[in-house]
Structure 1
Amino acid sequence: MNKKKRYTVMALSALLVASTMAHNDEAKPWTFWYWMYGAVSKAGIHADLVGMKNVGLGGTYLMPIRGVSERPEYQGEAAQLSPKFWEMVDYSFQQADSLGLDMGIHICDGFALAGNPSILPAESMQKVVWTDTIVGGGKKIEGMQMWQPESYKDGKLQPAVSEGGYYQDIAAFAIRCKEKPQLFKPEKIEYTEAVSTAKGYYLAAKPASITYSFHKPVTVRSMRVVPNGNNIQSQRLLVQASDDGINFRDIKQLVPPRQGWQNTMCDYTFSLPTTTARYFRFSWTPEGTEPGAEDLDAAKWKPLLKLENILLSNQPMINQYEGKSGAVWRIETDAAAKSETVAMADVLPLKLENGMVMGVMVNGNLMNKLPKGTWRLLRMGHTSTGQTNATAGTGKGLEVDKFSPAAVRKLFNSWYALFLNRPHSDVVKYLHIDSWECGSQNWGYQFAEEFKARRGYDLIPYLPIMAGVPMESASRYEQVLKDIRLTINDLVNEKFFKTFTDLAHEQDIEVSHESIAPTFPADGLQHYQYADNPMGEYWLNSPTHDKPNDMLDAVSGAHIYNKNIVQAEGFTEVRGVWNETPAMLKPMLDRNLALGMNKLFFHVTAHNPWMDRKPGMTLDGIGLFFQRDNTWYPEARGFVDYITLCQNYLQQGRPVVDIAVFTGEEIPSRSLTPDKLVPILPGVFGAERVASEQKRMANVGIPMEESPVGVTHSANILDLKDWCNALHGYKYDSMNKDALLKWNFEYSPKGKLPGNQDYRILVVPQPANTLSAEVKAKIEKLREEGIIIIDKPYQAKDFSQYGIEPDVVLPEDMDYAHRCVLEATGRKDIYFLTNQEDKERQITATFRTRTSKIRQVVKLSLPAYGSAFVILSNKEDMQVISQTGHKLVEEEGAGFTENYPSVLAVADKWKVHFDDIRKDTTVTLPFDWSKSADEKMKYYSGHVTFTSSFEWGDSVPVSAEEKMEVPAEKTKTAPSNDGFIKIQLGKIGDVARVLVNGKQYGYAWTAPYEVYVPKRDLKNGSNEIQIVVANTWHNALQGAGEGKAPFKGIWTNAKYRTKSKALLPAGLLSTINIVY
């Protein structure tokens, strides 16, 4: 049964935004405000903040970046923590206060992550380190010196030495060896001609092999790969062995672990089947390489084998122990390796008589008497990871120990609290923790004690496992390693994130977090329980750097932990080219609104200390240049107003999400992108998607593309723009184990989390044998309570067999978000719809209602990349609100009726004024000034004012619509003053604002580039129309690069990269229509 209603699509006018936003400043977007290299001025601060206020922002996160000494040519005087710096901070607070802008401060200098000069090595992030000494037993070893492992000294890590630097012992072990441990040095190394060693390492772009030859057979049980840089191909070798150097047999195909971008802290250890041979060959081919993703970052790039060394050993080692021990964010995915285990004969028992003893050390000397035999002395301790807040200036220091509340408080008091003690600091409303860029730690304050308290046994006897030594049994050492990661996860959440939140809340400050993955080995969702405002990030025109998982982490983390606001650091560009416009940004914005974001933070507004250099300072060319000296920044008010309107609606109520997807029990973990769900929900995705995903992952031929200019990468990287409305009318959240176990039925028979979030379906993609008894029991309890459990490939196209119809049915290349508002007088359902095609579309949308037997059908027209809100309420007629300004009436059998059928004549000639070069001319439209013969105009970037006129009043004929509304016996000689005229700009380059009779009426920044003017504001007779157009900086920077700058003062520290020297169209590129 369909239920139809008459409806109107309303224009997004400034009046509409103002009335909507009167009660919700939270809906305004914010921006990151970077002070670069200590180059800060009061004039620049004032101009920046006034610009933010005028463009409609609600506030900014102030973050100083880099130090004065790094770029002395900028003559910065406000080095972080200096008196000049605090003078500038005080002024910015005072200015923000006077303008009604709020602010947030990062937890340390720079943007990654939590370091400070006050942090001592013992208070910094720690890692387990060790040294090996091989000795013969049979006598008391008194004063046997064991080399001190790696230590931290003079600002850097130093290799094993006899003494010195920061290092703390944990324990020593003597391990009986059946044979002397060896790293085998090949007698000869040969490689095929595709391999080059000219750069000091093995480099190949085509299939290649490297062969090790030995004088006599050697027995190998493990290998260590030392890549050059973050190189995935060196982890994809086929290991073969031969007795004669001619006939080779396969030993193992290496499979890379899942890994993030900050992945060079450790080498890669692979266990091998025990193999005795004289020849070992390592073969490589680029074919078979995955296309790359956030959790396989190095696979994004052109497939090159870059290899420093391969080390073969006779010692059994735990496969991929570096990631399993928490030293780096990695996840073993090699199914064969998981089924293989180190032979029991090679596994080390705990007791002395069977092979191991904990040593007694005095000043680094082992004092034990050992039985006869060969012994491996393992001295284990911890030192600083050496990580710093690398993007800081004089506030740079070691990264704080994430397991020490006392060290975290010290960091808070050494940076953030200083800002709270400044005048006007009441403008500071947020503490921000940016994206995690400081790697991992697997030791820290009271780690052993915390481990024992949480896991129920002593870690110390098992410590050699962290050095890759297999002990007791495969199940045991794997469990110990998992327990280490679980403890790391517990501590980073409770000791780091929770401590910061508690400190902030004591000051009535809210907290925002960005993603912890894929750099720190933890649950990527769990830390959001301690964030008031979870935050993700997404990148513009930067496929290698985009963060779809980050956004999904933040969205799911917010939903499962009852956080209403989902922030996003938006539109970062790895290489900006100054051609960015609001119209270019809108499709990506809308996709992320549909994903669940409802609070945008532009990234980035770089402070420009100079009033005479434009476009000025940037984050060294990274980021969206959303700052006062961007040409179209004043006209961005229309774009910001649109964002404000959207966020106002999308912050109301709670999200409607039918499906929860379990992330599993592995640590580290994070949300699941839609491609990961295709195997478990093939029917819902459909046969076409299943086939296309198989093709994408096969990555045959390793197709590459270039985006942005100069960045070549896999063409098959996951891009969420290809996954709009992926589940065809169903939304999903990822749910971690913590949230799953908290799922209860206290509030609703459907089952709600403490966050009041309903889910009706639980998808469990993991095999049953990977789930703990605790999780299995919880899933069965949910099944008994009526939750639909999908734990095998689901072949149906939807979930209607369970009474769960699609929430909304949309055409392809559209997406949506749905919020439900429960009020005392009834329920309101807010749907956001986005057209992700670059063309106008007339669409039919069908919405699920509360009764499920009734579908609400809505027809509407959307422009290219257009969007709309459909609001259903049981107490009032449906509303549809669109940014487009189309006013449409649905009538039975009539389709869509445009209510502006009559056209006003506009004078042919337009006066044109170029602001920054003070030039005037007269033109007819269309006019593209980039084609001008005058080079000052041709290369001009900035504002140009077009002026003309049109007639209104008695001389204007009545519109066709008004004629239909007037009774036949009456006559009407002039149009009514009710309603609006619509000024259609057509195609423009790039944004515009429209004034009539000197009054501004709106901005044209996206299709269909229209502005509305109330008829009552028009004069009887001639009316002046002015259209102020701004293009991007692209053309002026191109001209400046060619020595043809259109005006003086053009300067930026951002490199300018374009594929073509062709100028971009600029101006009014169509004739202007005024309809009524």
Structure 2
Amino acid sequence: MKHVFILGLLVISLSCLVEAQPKPTPQIATGNTAKPWTYWWWMGSAVNEADITHQLEQFAQAGLGGVHIIPIYGVKGYEKQFIPFLSDRWLAVFAHTVREGKRLGVGVDLTTGTGWPFGGPGISTSTAAKVWKVENGKLTTALTNQQVKRPAPGGQGLVVDYFNKQAIQYYLQRFDSTLNRLPEKPRAVYNDSYEVYGANWTDNFLSEFKARRGYDLNSQLASLLDTTQTAESILVHQDYHQTLSELLHDGFATTWGSWASKAGYLSRNQAHGSPGNLIDLYAKANIPETESFGSSRFPIPGLRVDANYEVDRFGTPNPLAMKFASSAAHLLGKPLVSSETGTWLANHFQVSLSQLKPQMDELFAAGINHIFFHGIPYSPQAEAWPGWVFYASTNYGPSSHFWPHLPQLNQYIERCQTRLQASKPDNDVLVYFPIHDLWATKAKSAGGIHQLEVHHVEQWLLPQPFGKLCEQLTQHGYSFDYVSDELLKRLTVNKQGVRSPGGATYQVVLVPNSTYLPETTLKQLEQLARQGARIVFDGLPQQAPGFHDHQARSAEVIRLGKALQQLKTVTVSTDVFHSLMQLGIRVEPWVGEGLSFIRKHRPGISTDTTQYFITNLGNQFHQNWITLSATGRVTRYDPLTNQTKLLPTRTGKVGQNQVFLQLEPGQSCFINVSSGAPAFVNETAQKQLENVAKGQSISLTNPWQVQFLKGRPNLTTTATIPALTSWTTLSDSASYFSGIARYTTTFDLPAGSNASTYQLNLGDVREVADVRLNGQPLGTAWCIPFQLSIPANQLKSVGNKLEIDVTNLSANYMRLYDRQNPGWKKFYDINIVDIRYRPFDATRWEALPSGLLGPVKLTALE
């Protein structure tokens, strides 16, 4: 019997609840940015025009929007093909790449150097990275002697001094006389995460310090050397870090960014890892870039993590770290925020698309909208499988087991990024980042400095009151960005709230509990408050940072705090969240059920639309009535299926509208709220909706026939199994098989079943399933939950034939291949390592479960 739910909706004229698809949103004009891009390692720069064209055509066909070229170490046996970086031949193949990219609609970015960090053959001891040392009771300069890591031919040499403007200018001259003269240029130039180990000095540090801080650092050498955290030592170390931060900002970020702009390039910068204020450093780039390294350990049922990944050593991704990049972009109106994505998500040959999607969703919810895969090694067509392999997983390239299905992920990303790039931030809270309190703690990085890296936020971010407060803001459902001392100076106030230089508007500035706050920052906050800005302090600061004239400046901090406390727009709070509630700051309470989101607005012709991207990265929420802070006509867009539907609405107990959201662990969607009448449903329909969403499942219990198709090694085995199990158990040969196996069964619909829509749930799939029903393609299930929708007209009462072609990982075959052909590991430098950075050896691996594990169920939905 057809569910009464349909009748209930017909009564209120909402049958199907399906709207016409909206017109596609135009992409911003900085290249094909809605599609994902990829790092593209040129190993030894042993490239040629024919293979470049072939690979770019493959990339375009797979749905990639661009490549980021990184010249890197080479492959043994190909030395004669190595092309020195920036040589005439190198420039010729690079120009060919850009021309072919334009023909194919594939953008091209380039690292300003080879490997990382910046440096190379032109860097002498005078322009190389420095460290301080003490001689005869005075600070003096020494070399770090750090060499460029993973350099390509023609890129070897010392690392440049990132704190020295003249050294950076000298380094960039090499590109002025080579790259900048080409008629074919990259879209953007790139700087990798700051990995200048131990560098904490530059030749003119003492003079810069005295000019910026007002005293001679040598006069307080004892305090600089003191590691016992005395009061004076803390103040001197704050001054030292402040100077280092400013020199990095002025010497590198500003100099490199200005050079790129003058040359006609955009700049992409991974500021993290720097001994400076990340917000300001990200802000200097046209495209701030964060990093997602390792697995985030989401509790999504069925989501696997690599047990060999060492969390203590490498850390895990964290959205609060990602928000440093997106906050800089939101404040300054930068349309793109990128991410190095999926690095070491699992061991080589073991990464699945189902593991990748949640990492993308975490990035999207943190404000990232320009994904860069990490990555694809250039590999000649003539090279046998697995081709050239970069030492760090993940390989997204044509030799990967998931390459035939990568377009599925790429299409999902494109649909998401099209909407994210075309919308503006809609965050209400601007959280001040009190970096001087961090500088007051003992540094844990090499060289005795604070390097703010994204891998181990538990070491510097989460222990601070700022980090704890931001975690709580997230858990409560507030939307927020960060702001630095410098960017606070550029805020203005209007009737809508606090306005950033890029046009974003915030309702409140929130100052976390902090001991040290510059008096200049407090003066700026006072000025904003007198203009009408609402400011909430989680307690007032007690001291000014820095040694020079500390007592007088601290007295000014106390005076300014008392003055601020008297202003009607300022709240000094003992309960921040109660204060935010009293101020009417919007909150999304459903976040407490385990959902993550970003709220944005999309400008329209007649009215703006509030847009939510919501992702379920936990195992708590399945379906519920939720209250959105935005009100109006609510639609749901599914970027996986490209379908848009109206969401049913009811009036909640406190008079607020609620919408019914179904979102299983691992799923994501966009919710758009625009002007117009909500799709209200009556109480009877509400109950029916809740019951129907739970569904009635039909287990498929008939035997399955398994037939091995294309793969390595070649297998022609067929088997009939009474219940689903890993194909690795069928035979010894099957335990080494990597490829496609077809699972076939039949089933009947239960008598009386008359639903209009069914859902096929495949259970556990290892790794991707292409499904046909009664000879017709039904779709591809590649991410958790592995399920597809079936219209009733594709089903028969009896004798339905279900065929599922499952593609597994290449790890099982690598167990055999690595034993038979160990010579594939032929790379210079680090060669090829496993996820623990040990020499790669797949021969000891156990066979990984493969195929359709189930259980497979059919659920009647409507």
TM-score under structure 1 length normalisation: 0.60
Q: Does residue 1:1061 correspond to 2:807, yes or no?
A: no
Q: Does residue 1:523 correspond to 2:277, yes or no?
A: yes
Counterpart residue number, 1:939? 736
Q: Name the CA shift for 1:1027/1:83 in 2 (closer, same or farther; >3 Å).
A: farther
Matches within 5 A, 1:332-731: 378=137, 381-393=140-152, 394-415=154-175, 418-422=178-182, 425-426=184-185, 428-439=186-197, 441-444=199-202, 447=205, 450-451=208-209, 454-455=212-213, 457=214, 459=216, 462=219, 468=225, 482-517=238-273, 520-541=274-295, 542=309, 543=311, 544-545=313-314, 546-548=316-318, 550-573=321-344, 576-609=347-380, 611-620=382-391, 622-666=392-436, 726-731=474-479
Q: Name the CA shift for 1:1019/1:1067 in 2 (closer, same or farther; >3 Å).
A: closer
Letter in 2 for 1:385: T
Letter in 2 for 1:503: W
Q: Does residue 1:751 correspond to 2:518, yes or no?
A: no
Cα contact 1:677–1:765 (8 A) shared by 2: no
Give SS of 2:813's match: helix
Cα contact 1:835–1:867 (8 A) shared by 2: yes
C-alpha distance in structure 2 between counterparts of 1:813 and 1:912, whole Å: 41
Cα contact 1:659–1:762 (8 A) shared by 2: yes
Cα contact 2:728–2:849 (8 A) shared by 1: no
Counterpart residue number, 1:831? 612
1:940 Cα offset (Å): 0.6
Give SS of 2:169's match: helix
C-alpha distance in structure 2 between counterparts of 1:28 and 1:1048, whole Å: 36
1:631 Cα offset (Å): 0.9
Q: Name the CA shift for 1:993/1:1050 in 2 (closer, same or farther; >3 Å).
A: farther
Q: Does residue 1:118 correspond to 2:122, yes or no?
A: yes
Q: Does residue 1:60 correspond to 2:64, yes or no?
A: no
Cα contact 2:465–2:514 (8 A) shared by 1: no
Give SS of 1:613's match: coil
Cα contact 2:764–2:855 (8 A) shared by 1: yes
C-alpha distance in structure 1 between counterparts of 2:410 and 2:72, whole Å: 26
1:529 Cα offset (Å): 1.9
Counterpart residue number, 1:142? none
Give SS of 1:751's match: strand
Give SS of 2:404's match: coil
Cα contact 2:209–2:217 (8 A) shared by 1: no
1:1018 Cα offset (Å): 11
Give SS of 2:521's match: helix
Structure 1: unaligned runs, 5 residues or longer: 133-377, 686-722, 880-888, 963-979
Letter in 2 for 1:122: S
Give SS of 1:895's match: helix
Cα contact 2:52–2:97 (8 A) shared by 1: yes
Cα contact 1:524–1:671 (8 A) shared by 2: no
Counterpart residue number, 2:686? 892
1:664 Cα offset (Å): 1.8
Per-residue displacement from partner, 1:417-472 (whole Å, max 9, x unpaired)? Answer: 7345457x34x2111111011136555465555555545x57487485697499xx
1:1062 Cα offset (Å): 4.1
Matches within 5 A, 1:34-183: 34-38=41-45, 40=47, 45-66=52-73, 68=74, 72=76, 75=79, 77-81=81-85, 85-86=90-91, 88-110=93-115, 112-132=116-136
C-alpha distance in structure 2 between counterparts of 1:603 and 1:84, whole Å: 26
Q: Name the CA shift for 1:834/1:1071 in 2 (closer, same or farther; >3 Å).
A: closer
1:395 Cα offset (Å): 0.7
Counterpart residue number, 1:232? none
Give SS of 1:554's match: helix
Structure 2: unaligned runs, 5 residues or longer: 1-11, 296-308, 440-449, 540-572, 633-651, 834-839
Counterpart residue number, 2:645? none
Per-residue displacement from partner, 1:814-855 (whole Å, max 9, x unpaired)? Answer: 211111224341121111222123577123321113799963
Q: Name the CA shift for 1:1068/1:50 in 2 (closer, same or farther; >3 Å).
A: farther
Counterpart residue number, 2:602? 821
C-alpha distance in structure 2 between counterparts of 1:16 and 1:421, whole Å: 46
Matches within 5 A, 1:261-272: none
Give SS of 1:557's match: helix
Cα contact 2:191–2:270 (8 A) shared by 1: yes
Counterpart residue number, 1:292? none
Aligned partner (choices 809, 812, 819) of residue 1032 of structure 1: 809
Give SS of 2:770's match: strand
The higher relative CO (CA closer than 8 Å, separation ≥ 6) is in 1
C-alpha distance in structure 1 between counterparts of 2:180 and 2:396, whole Å: 27
Letter in 1 for 2:169: R
Q: Name the CA shift for 1:582/1:739 in 2 (closer, same or farther; >3 Å).
A: same
Per-residue displacement from partner, 1:224-249 (whole Å, max 9, x unpaired)? Answer: xxxxxxxxxxxxxxxxxxxxxxxxxx
C-alpha distance in structure 2 between counterparts of 1:735 and 1:515, whole Å: 15
Letter in 2 for 1:993: D
Counterpart residue number, 1:230? none
Give SS of 2:727's match: helix
C-alpha distance in structure 1 between counterparts of 2:701 and 2:215, whole Å: 85
Q: Name the CA shift for 1:612/1:774 in 2 (closer, same or farther; >3 Å).
A: closer
C-alpha distance in structure 1 between counterparts of 2:384 and 2:677, whole Å: 54
Per-residue displacement from partner, 1:676-697 (whole Å, max 9, x unpaired)? Answer: 6798699989xxxxxxxxxxxx
Which is higher, the Rg of structure 1 or of structure 2? 1
Cα contact 2:129–2:144 (8 A) shared by 1: yes
Cα contact 1:440–1:521 (8 A) shared by 2: no
Over the residues paired in the alignment, what is the CA RMSD in angstroms? 4.7
Per-residue displacement from partner, 1:363-406 (whole Å, max 9, x unpaired)? Answer: xxxxxxxxxxxxxxx46543443233222133122223334444
Q: Name the CA shift for 1:1074/1:1028 in 2 (closer, same or farther; >3 Å).
A: farther
Q: Name the CA shift for 1:1024/1:101 in 2 (closer, same or farther; >3 Å).
A: farther
Give SS of 1:815's match: strand
Q: Name the CA shift for 1:582/1:919 in 2 (closer, same or farther; >3 Å).
A: same
C-alpha distance in structure 1 between counterparts of 2:128 and 2:770, whole Å: 53
1:500 Cα offset (Å): 1.9
Kindly indicate which of the two structures has a greater share of residues assigned to strand.
1
Counterpart residue number, 2:665? 864
Counterpart residue number, 1:987? 764
Counterpart residue number, 1:346? none
C-alpha distance in structure 2 between counterparts of 1:396 and 1:739, whole Å: 38
Q: Name the CA shift for 1:38/1:10 in 2 (closer, same or farther; >3 Å).
A: farther
Aligned-pair identity (%): 21
Matches within 5 A, 1:2-17: none
Per-residue displacement from partner, 1:270-305 (whole Å, max 9, x unpaired)? Answer: xxxxxxxxxxxxxxxxxxxxxxxxxxxxxxxxxxxx
Letter in 2 for 1:744: T
1:872 Cα offset (Å): 0.4
Q: Name the CA shift for 1:998/1:7 in 2 (closer, same or farther; >3 Å).
A: closer
1:115 Cα offset (Å): 0.7
Give SS of 1:915's match: strand
